[in-house]
Structure 1
Amino acid sequence: MSFHILGRRVVIIDKPSVAEDLLTRRALIYSDRHFPPMGGELMKREHNMFYIAYNDRFKTYRRLLHREFNPSAVKNFWSTQQSEARSLVSNICQADSENLFVCVQRAAASLIMKISFGYTIDNDNDHFVFLAESSLKLAYLAGAPGRWLVDSFPILRFLPDWFPGADFKRKAKIWGRKLDNLSIEPHHWAQKQMVSGTAEPSFTSRLLNLDDERERSPDYDDIVRHTAGSLYAAGVDTLAASMKVFFYAMTCNPEIQRKAQEEVDSVTSAERRLPTLEDRASMPYLECILKEVLRWAPPAPMGLAHCSSSDDVYKGYFIPAKTSVYANIWAMTHDEDEYPDPYLFNPDRFLAKEGERQQKDPRGLVYGFGRRLCPGSHFAEFYLFIQMATCLAILDVFKDVDCNGVCIDPKAEFSTGLTTHMAPFPCIVKPRSRDSLAMIQNDHIASC
């Protein structure tokens, strides 16, 4: 699909083969980013991970991220991920079911702040979390399509700040500084901890201690700051969004929940222990649930737009330079030819069955394409797996009931935006047994 919107050519891809052809095989052309006047230029976000052009600085970002989040390196985060998964379950056991999503969001924030800066979130009113959440809201406002006239008529960016109707320029300056603080404040905090000798190992501390002279450019500190700052923006929302979908799926599909619990119990109950990430290979059905969560509700259904850096022709279609190209991930994961009955949450679709075609692993779609592929995909999967496994080991999730004792069928309602979040729904979450509650409580006491 191709159309003009707000003076820009936009192309929407809904077939994986076309996305691979353009965004991966022709990555030299399709790895750039559109840099909007409001959310980009006026707010001075040319070094932001999500707006940066395909240049040497971007390649340095990717190299540093790969260093920390490649399939081998992510094992360094396993103990932290397991600890945060157990904290999530402990917090859920102590909270009302109405606060389930609050616990899920905080768990994702806690993990990302820990691995990014070595920072521990101690309360619900944490300054850094408030700073990050408020900054992300500003980023969404600034980047909202059609909201700012200057995005359609870029010449307006040259208006003086005092000119009537130029309040967007004044907002851009203020918002740009606030968004910078999203990475500046925790980065400076981590540096102070390093100077005092109290810093916990983190993405920031490891990279600032890096002895590789090839990486030590004059702006290396700024590069580390921007790279670490991108982890919160990219990680918290997407991880929390997928866990919310998991709880919804377990609420609506008790038979799937029971089958997954039986698998978890078969691996851990004999030793009376909680799941670990070493158990992942022994839990193939839970792996299928993880795939289905990502397929049924991809957290970033349209991803971020690629931008063509030069003119191109594909199968007779002319694609001019500066075209925004979106991979419609949601359409790809709901293609009836690839995923029969795509709106049904069905982990069994990924189990090999005699005489049936095994359906495509959606993880080849949901993380994006080409040189803008999500560099934290392995980290994300380990996080989701251990969160799901620990919740299944300790918790039962049920449909809530109305005043007449009739089960309430929750509706699947989602927010709009770059990351889509499931709206809160009625459910009951409680420990499976006294033994399971005691297990998580004892683990929490031992970790304190």
Structure 2
Amino acid sequence: MMRDFSSLESLTLLSLFCCLLAYFWSHFFSLKNKLVGLPLPPGPKANFWGNVNLPRLRPWLAYASDEWRKIYGELIYIRVFGNPILVLNTATVVSDLLEKRSGKYSSRPVRTMIVDLIGWDWLVSAFPYGTWWQAHRIMLHRHLPANGSSVTWHPLQIQETHALCRRLLTSPKDFRNHVRKCAARIVLKMTYGPQVGEANDYVALADKALASLAEAGIFGTYLVDYIPFLKYAPVFFRFRRKALEWRKPVRAMLETPYAIVKDEMARGTASKCLVSEELERVSLAHVPSDEKIIKNVAATMYAAGADTVVSAISSLFLAMSIHPESQKRAQSELDKVIGPEHRLPVFTDRSQLPYIDYICYELLRWNPVTPLGLAHFITEDDVYKGYRIPKGTTVLPNVWAILHDPEMYPDPLAFDPERFSPENRKNGLNQLPDPAFGFGRRICPGKYLALDTLWIVVATVLTVYEISKEVDKHGKVKEPCTDFTPNSLSHPMPFSCTIVPRSSAARQLILQTEIQ
């Protein structure tokens, strides 16, 4: 039975429909006029309304599939409600456009659902390219050096990795929460100090906030991304109700820990951290406007560190349980360098432990946490390989396709750390998985911090733990789920494994970290 609409609701829907029709009509003809001359890149045919329906679940797989990639090639052009979208399916095209022509391709599209409605307007990675973004980036680089050195944070990374190992000893089945806590606490302590970093509430808060980014993060998931004026729709629309629900933890993520540090500073009890250092800098320079930048940068680090490296570390437990040969190879190397019972690894061991690096690279390549990357936005008309790319096009780098290109990574679906050994990287094959960290001027500033965190966790966990498939009470092996979530932030789906100390000596090494 059809629902009886009130006169107000009927008038609202009629107004929205008229606006939608006008918006589509104007965009269709303005776009059509611009494209006289050179052809657009190839893409699927539009429907009667001039649109293409985008795949909603795991779109990176669809774009890399035979149906899309082999028909349309390395560039796939799509138009949805007048919005041009260009998918980049190969490393060559990404390099040519996002890196070599970064002056045109370094901005971000308007993300109405994410930014305006849910409240991620403080997320630096979503800012358009310009002076406001650059001011934030300068501050980020003060604490995350672009030269690859994150030595300052090594003691903290080791401390939290040891805490992870202790938690695994007491409740190994809860390993995913332990991993999330480890990653989050490193960044929380760096950014807001130990009081915030030790509080479990802020790890849980990040989980709630980041759930919205995972679900709504792929450009175009919600119609309002294509038709921004829909953000004024009444709250009884489902997407508006959803945005209001998500907005609370997202705003709390920005405001709450920052307010705690300011309060500590007022009382003279604040520890050294990014926020306290930057607030002191502002106080000395008498530039209060910089406070907003500090708050945005701190919350961005909180968000990025609390989630991105978590996927790769979680994948470690999955990969080691289904590939015991890789685990044995890593443990053999670790035992030769530091001894199976002598001590836990430190960063100065790294040069002697190349296979641990190979595992880290393969974890990043195997299932990247942002398989469709972060959307770029072209700010000027461009021509590439005889095709016209209009100004205002949203550009999606298919990171998953690049890191699973069989011409670059033979047998790409296999988990094979050895592919990164020098003998297997000849002739340009098996390049390091840098696409996992973005491209051009928008490359992730926390890349080296993430790599260091991943390395010390992999090295330490494999030194003291044996990871294997779970066995039920009848002695039957339970095969773990090997699927990954279909969202913009992709993680392993829930799976189980067995995590036990390698020996009594390994158990003692773990326990000794409590008193260090």
* Common topology (TM > 0.5): yes
What residue in structure 2 maps to residue 104 of structure 1? 179
**Alignment partner of 1:292 out of 334, 358, 362:** 362
Q: Label 1:424 to 1:274 Cα distance change in 2 as closer, same or farther (>3 A).
A: same
For 1:355 and 1:211, the matched residues in 2 are separated by 47
* Aligned 8 A contact 1:110 1:120 in 2: no
Letter in 2 for 1:191: K
CA drift of 1:229 comes to 0.3
1:348 matched to which residue of 2? 418
Deviations 1:214-254 (A, max 9, x none): x8754211101101101122222111100011111111111
1:206 alignment partner, one of 277, 281, 304: 277
Q: In percent, how many aligned pairs have the same letter?
A: 32
1:223 to 289, 293, 304: 293
- Partners of 2:257 and 2:138 in 1: how far apart? 22
Residue 153 (structure 1) shift: 3.1
Give ranges in structure 2 of 5+ residues lacking alignment: 1-75
CA distance in 2, matches of 1:182, 1:319: 38
Query: Using the alignment, how far apart are the partners of 2:306 and 2:469 within structure 1?
Result: 26
Q: Which of these residues, 497, 502, 505, is aligned with residue 432 of structure 1?
A: 502
Which stretch of the first structure deviates more once superposed, 86-95 or 356-365? 356-365
Could you tell me how far 1:211 is from its partner in structure 2?
Answer: 6.8
Residue range with higher mean Cα deviation, 294-303 or 37-46: 37-46
Please report the TM-score for the alignment, with normalisation by the length of structure 2: 0.79
Distance in 1 (CA, whole Å) between partners of 2:459 and 2:253 is: 32
How far 1:438 sits from its partner (Å)? 0.8
Alignment-derived partner of residue 64 in structure 2: none
Residues 17 and 167 from structure 1, CA distance in 2 versus in 1: closer, same or farther, beyond 3 angstroms? closer
Query: Shift of residue 45 of structure 1?
Result: 4.6
Match of 2:201 in 1: 127
Q: Which amino acid aligns with 2:157?
A: Q
Instruction: Give the SS at the match of 2:462.
Output: helix
RMSD of aligned Cα (Å): 2.6
* 1:375-394 superposed Cα distances (whole Å, 9 cap, x missing partner): 10100010000001110111
1:118 aligns with 2:193: yes
- Bigger mean CA deviation after superposition, 396-405 or 284-293: 396-405
- Pick the structure with greater CA Rg: 2
CA contact (8 A) 1:33 1:53 kept: yes
2:470 equivalent in structure 1: 400
Residues 321-336 of structure 1 mapped to structure 2, 5 A cutoff: 321-336=391-406
| Change beyond 3 A, Cα 1:417–1:170 | closer
Q: Show the counterpart of 1:85.
A: 161
Report the TM-score, using the length of structure 1 for normalisation.
Answer: 0.90
Q: How does 1:28-427 map to 2 (within 5 A)?
A: 28-43=103-118, 45-70=120-145, 71=147, 74-96=150-172, 98-120=173-195, 126-143=200-217, 148-158=222-232, 161=234, 165=236, 168=239, 172=243, 175-176=246-247, 178-210=249-281, 217-269=287-339, 272-353=342-423, 357=427, 359-427=429-497
Structure 1: 5+ residue stretches without partners: none
Deviation at 1:358, TM superposition (A): 6.5
User: Kindly tell me: are residues 121 and 225 of structure 1, through their superposed partners in 2, closer, same or farther at Cα, counting changes over 3 Å?
Assistant: closer
RCO (CA 8 Å, sep 6+): is it higher in 1 or 2? 1
Aligned residues: 440
Distance of aligned partners of 1:146 and 1:312 in 2 relative to their CA distance in 1, 3 Å threshold:
closer
Instruction: Say if 1:39 and 1:139, in contact at 8 Å, map to a contact too.
Output: yes
Change (3 A) 1:158 1:442: closer
User: C-alpha offsets along residues 64-110 of structure 1, whole Å, 9 cap, x if unaligned?
Assistant: 111211146511100000001111011001104x2111111111122
Contact 1:88-1:103 within 8 A present in 2 as well: yes
Distance in 2 (CA, whole Å) between partners of 1:253 and 1:120 is 39
What letter matches 2:272 in structure 1?
P
**Distance in 1 between the 2:250 and 2:379 partners?**
27
Any idea what SS the aligned residue of 1:28 has?
Answer: helix
Report the CA distance between 1:154 and its aligned residue.
2.9
Secondary structure of the residue aligned to 1:2 is strand
